Chain A
Amino acid sequence: MTYSGTPIDTMTIWIVIIGMAVGSFVLRFVFIGFVGRRTMPEWLLRHLRYTAVAMLPALVAPLVIWPSLTAGQPDVPRLSAAAVTLAVAMIWKNVVLAIFCGAATLYGLLYLLGGGV
């Protein structure tokens, strides 16, 4: 993939890597490590049940609607592939089948529409 721009400063890269390594571990350890076997309140558990289903769609939605490789323009192959993947995943609850169908839709439409970048 092509990428143009000034190279990232080495010192910055190492600071980011070390900061993220420490930060990510602390984030993951904070509850399981410190809370341990103490029970957590019902209202908190009720909210936590919806963590994944709230965070992942929010992460994906902007990437689907404004993909980076098309300079942020919505495009038909990517929107269609996203719709097919989600539909297949919801109906058959099969992650691999959904990715396969989504990828087939993406490549098929990129080829047909000549939208390959």
Chain B
Amino acid sequence: MSRNTNLSYFWKGCRNSVPFIFVAGPFGMLFGVLGSEGGLSLTQVMTFSFTVFAGAAQFTALQLMREEAPTVIVLASALAVNLRVAMYSASLTPYLGAAPLWQRALAAYFTVDQSYALSIVQFEQGPEMTLQERVAYFFGTSALIAPLWYGMTLTGALLGSTIPDSWALDFALPLAFLAMIGPMLRTPAHVVAALVSVITVLLAGGIPYNLGLLVAGVAGMMAGAWTERYLERRVAEA
């Protein structure tokens, strides 16, 4: 019985991840294209996507390497862009933290924007789910997307410079992220968090080493948390 419901949650995760095919596919391909054009070998591009498995951070690292930034700064900036996955990891901990260590280690590897966004919505809406059902759902959200990410990176690396600029692939990343942000703006607190982070990052353009992103993220989180408390108190007083 529980095996069956675990499996059905795994498939549910797979099904819910289908729209992200149109996100992960173009991203993976774009990374392959830009990587091979930047002078990375096929092995390097594939090792990058397979071991790091974090689109935005990979693009950041690639961009900075092309700009001949010092290696330490390349690493620090790319990992800073990836700091949000530490926050995703923390946010998932109340739901997955009781799983065996090997499952948590595997879950850590698969913690990306897409698996996090889908899972947190599912877990919040389904408080009756068991631990194993949550684990099954979480891995389901990556079962299609991860192989697609590797495969499309390979495709992009092989195609390389044959893709013309007129395809405007540079804008795939912003459009995909904007499409993910829209549904997240479900409460006034979420809207305030997003607005404060955008304003902060634009004002913080002068902060070196990509630290503006981190500062903006923290400012947005504080603004969201503060707004949530403020609104709760007003409701309590009314």
**Which residues of chain A have a CB within 8 Å of any CB of chain B?**
1-3, 5-8, 10, 12-21, 23-25, 27-33, 35-40, 43-65, 67-69, 77-78, 81-82, 85-91, 93-96, 98-100, 102-103, 106-107, 110, 116-117
Contacts and interface: CB of A to CB of B under 8 A. Distances in A.
Contact of B90 (A40, A99, A117): A40
Q: Which of A55, A64, A99 has the most CB of B within 10 A?
A: A55
Contact of A68 (B58, B116, B170, B225): B170
B98 A37 contact: yes
Interface in B166-181: 166, 168-171, 173-181
Given A13-B40, A55-B220, A29 B171 contact: no
Given A19-B75, A54-B221, A60-B173, 7 more contacts: A8-B38, A12-B74, A23-B79, A40-B94, A54-B197, A56-B84, A61-B198
B220 A50 contact: yes
Interface residues of B, number: 104
A39 B98 CA distance: 11
16 contacts: A7-B39, A13-B65, A16-B61, A24-B82, A28-B88, A29-B89, A29-B108, A33-B108, A55-B217, A55-B220, A57-B201, A69-B168, A95-B179, A98-B179, A106-B171, A110-B168
Contact of B182 (A21, A46, A48, A86): A86
A51 B94 CA distance: 15
B94 A39 contact: yes
B15 interface: no
A38 B97 contact: yes
A69 B58 CA distance: 18
A99 B221 CA distance: 26
B78 to A, nearest CB: 6
Contact of B19 (A20, A49, A95, A116): A95
Mostly, the B contact residues are helix
A23 to B, nearest CB: 5
Contact of B94 (A20, A45, A47, A58): A45
B219 interface: yes
A4 B213 CA distance: 27
Interface in B73-98: 74-75, 78-79, 81-94, 96-98
B174 to A, nearest CB: 4
Contacts of B54: 20, 24
Interface in B53-77: 53-54, 56-58, 61, 63, 65-66, 68, 71, 74-75
Nearest to B54: A24
A41 to B, nearest CB: 11
Contacts of A77: 168
Contacts of B194: 53-54, 57
B211 to A, nearest CB: 11
Contacts of A59: 56, 81, 177, 213
A88 to B, nearest CB: 7
